[in-house]
Amino acid sequence: MNHLSLRPNDEEIENTVNKYSNMLFRLCFTMLRNNQDAEDAVSDVFVKYISGNHKFSDEEHKKAWLISVATNRCRDMLKFYKIRRHLNLDDVAEYCGKDDYFEILSELLTLPEKYRTVIHLHYVEGYKTAEIAKMLDISPSAVRKRLQYGRDKLKIEYGKGVF
């Protein structure tokens, strides 16, 4: 099996940041609910990425690792860091090309953190229950329950669920 390099050089760092910063920022924004904290969290994830001897079997493995580190980082920030705990509607408005999106994002971001994270990973990033369970270090049944609760709250109409 070919492993991706252990210690990334400057070029690899640049490629990784370019490739994954948007995806990670979206996830961190969903969890932390404001721009500045999300940027800090993404930055911390990449610092973690360059400071260990991480072996990735392929890009999917690397992406899953980055997501796992990001969710852990956000959870830590939510618990004990000095961050803005309220939902910043101005930050939400910044990302709304359509008025409908403002309502959708506001509803998503009003859910408790644990529900909006699994909703994000499933519906936005397209991960299956078992994959989310592994990333978040919780049981698949817990993921299913959180998805169910989140769906009920958001009243999501879905037809191609991938459980």
In the DSSP assignment, the letter for residue 2 is: P
Phi-psi region of 111 (alpha: psi -120 to 50; beta: other; left: phi over 0): beta
Phi-psi region of 139 (alpha: psi -120 to 50; beta: other; left: phi over 0): beta
* Beta carbon nearer to other proteins, 2 or 157: 157
Contact set for other proteins, span 27-86 (CB under 8 A): 29-30, 35, 38-39, 42-43, 46-52, 54, 65, 68-69, 72, 75-76, 78-86
Instruction: Check residue 163 for interaction with other proteins (CB under 8 A).
Output: no
Least distance (Å) between residue 148 CB and other proteins: 9
Helix (H, G, I), strand (E, B) or coil at 27: helix
Instruction: Check residue 154 for interaction with other proteins (CB under 8 A).
Output: yes
Instruction: Check residue 123 for interaction with other proteins (CB under 8 A).
Output: yes
